[in-house]
Amino acid sequence: MKTISGIHHITAIAEDPQRNLDFYTGVLGLRLVKVTVNFDDPGSYHLYYGDSHGNPGTILTFFAWPGARRGRHGNSQVTSTAFAIPPGSGQFWLDRLAASGIDFKNSLQRFGEAVIPFADPDGLRLELIETAGADPRHTWTGSAVPPESGVRGFHSATLTETGYQRTADLLTKTMGFRLAGEEENRFRYEVADGGASRTVDLVCAPGGVEGIVAAGTVHHIAWRTANDAEQIEWLGELSKLGYNLSPVMDRIYFHSIYYREPGGILFEIATDPPGFTLDETLDGLGSTLRLPPWLEAHRTRIEAALPPLKRRDERRSR
């Protein structure tokens, strides 16, 4: 039986790759899991951040396009990406964000959990949510953030829509989610056993402005499926329901299909395997520029077009 087991990854757009790298590895303490290029635009970086192993459910990725204009948050978008942090770690993060010069809003309560809203240097909306479901196995111990306070993968994502019902029907009637709670115009859905990385919130915002996807916004959200066979089943079922799907795309570290949900957000269904250790050792993840086989012959030209990128260990050694 085909299943969706939660969030696989979320992909956003950044303007400055070095600034992006410094923020996510330096301030948030995520691991740089993979440095590659946008396969459809190989003159630009595609950066992947996550936990120690690059597990699905922890991966935030960026298309880094220098000079990209700033996007606009609004309807038909993923308007917030939330990370799970351990209960009691909120004050640590408030202090760390303040010390790093990051603007943030006062902590608020949502569905009984403490939420810290803030933004990255491009304006991408992020949240840290204290939750008992924060899994310590999804911490990166190689960062400057103490493991007992570290980010532990995704908590959830917020999708904002002019009207939420058709998207809710797709989630519940086709993709296996269930309604788990409601607060005002926010509807929470969970899949599998629920909890961190298995949760999505739909916010109904009739009359809100439409979002514009560019720097500081989410490009797409990817959902997990176990293997290629299940992905083919999803391809068949969604096609029968009238969705316009891409063919299966080889993303080297996973395989993908793409479609627009009824509200206009780009959805992806991605396989768990092969994983990020396909072309690097576990200890060496993110240490070199990796290219897919069909671009390897163009490595010299691609490397010349990419701006220099200094990892945290390289910057310390200078």
User: Helix, strand, or coil here: 259?
Assistant: strand
3-class DSSP assignment, residue 50: strand
**34 is written with which tokens?**
């993979």
For residue 46, CA distances in Å to 15, 225, 287 come to: 12, 22, 14
What pLDDT sits at residue 315?
55
pLDDT mean over 232-260: 98
pLDDT of residue 311: 84
Nearest to 166 by CA among 29, 295, 264, 267: 264
Question: For residue range 52-98, what is the model confidence (pLDDT) as tens digits?
Answer: 999 999 999 999 999 999 999 999 999 999 999 999 999 999 999 99
Q: Please give the pLDDT value at position 317.
A: 39
In 20-54, which positions are buried (b, 16+ CB within 10 angstroms) versus exposed (e)? bbbbbbebbbbbbbbbbbbeeebebbbbbbbbbbb
Report how far residue 76's alpha carbon sits from residue 281's, in angstroms, rounded to the nearest whole number. 38
Contact 244, 260 (CB under 8 A): yes
Domains by residue range for the chain, with CATH? 7-317 (3.10.180.10)
Coil, helix or strand at residue 24: helix
| CB of 196 closer than 8 Å to CB of 153 | yes
User: Rounded to whole angstroms, what are the CA distances from 308 to 44, 199, 287, 301?
Assistant: 11, 37, 14, 14
pTM: 0.97
Which element (helix H / strand E) includes 93?
helix 90-99
Compute how many other C-beta atoms are within 10 angstroms of the C-beta atom of residue 62: 27
pLDDT of residue 318: 37
237: its two tokens: 């079922």
* pLDDT at 294 exceeding the cut of 60: yes
Under a CB-based contact definition with an 8 Å cutoff, are residues 135 and 153 in contact? yes
Indicate whether 285 pLDDT > 50.
yes
Which H/E stretch holds residue 90? helix 90-99
Average pLDDT over the chain reads 96
Torsion angle defined by CA atoms of residues 32, 35, 37 and 43, in that order, rounded to the nearest 10 degrees? 100
pLDDT grade for 246, boundaries at 50, 70 and 90: very high
Q: What are residue 34's phi and psi, to 5 degrees?
A: -155, 135
